[in-house]
Amino acid sequence: MMRNSTPKWVAPIVLAGVVIAGGSAAIAAAPWSNSGTADVKPYVEARKAEMQQRLERRVESGEITQAEADDIRAKMAEQKAGRVGQRPSAPDVEARKAEMQQRLERRVESGEITQAEADAIRAKMAEQKATGRLGFKR
């Protein structure tokens, strides 16, 4: 008389199916959030307020006119509207980085800031990139 070996395989197959189904259900039920981007909002708002204060100080000191400050604000709003929901591409990031380096070099050459101040700005930018506070992460 031959024995049927089917019952030996039924239990492991059923167990494997239960484990897979349970794991899939746990993954599907996991809460998903954008907590990484929620942390950036207060920082962005603080930077926006800082920029507004800087523009006001430049107008008060006579460095720029109110019309120029308004133009800067309009350009910033236009740029923001153009990039809502978009992340800059790697070439864009590199181009912006190179432009910032050139601006810092010109400011040092003109005597507007010292080399130490330029180095401090570069260090702050590197720190912000490392902590992901620039608005885009890699």
- Same domain for 43 and 82, yes or no, is yes
Is 120 within the bounds of a domain? yes
- Same domain for 78 and 105, yes or no, is no
Number of domains in the chain: 2
Q: How far apart are the first and last CA of the chain?
A: 67
Select from 54, 70, 86 the last residue of a domain.
86
* Distances from the Cα of 8 to the Cα of 16, 17, 18, 56, angstroms: 14, 16, 17, 80
Write down the pLDDT at residue 110. Answer: 92
User: For the chain, which residues score pLDDT lower than 70?
Assistant: 1-12, 14-19, 21-39, 82-86, 132-138
Which pTM does this prediction carry? 0.37
Amino acid at 19: V
- Same domain for 95 and 110, yes or no, is yes
Write down the pLDDT at residue 31. Answer: 55
Residue 71's domain comprises 39-86
- Same domain for 76 and 65, yes or no, is yes
- Same domain for 101 and 137, yes or no, is yes
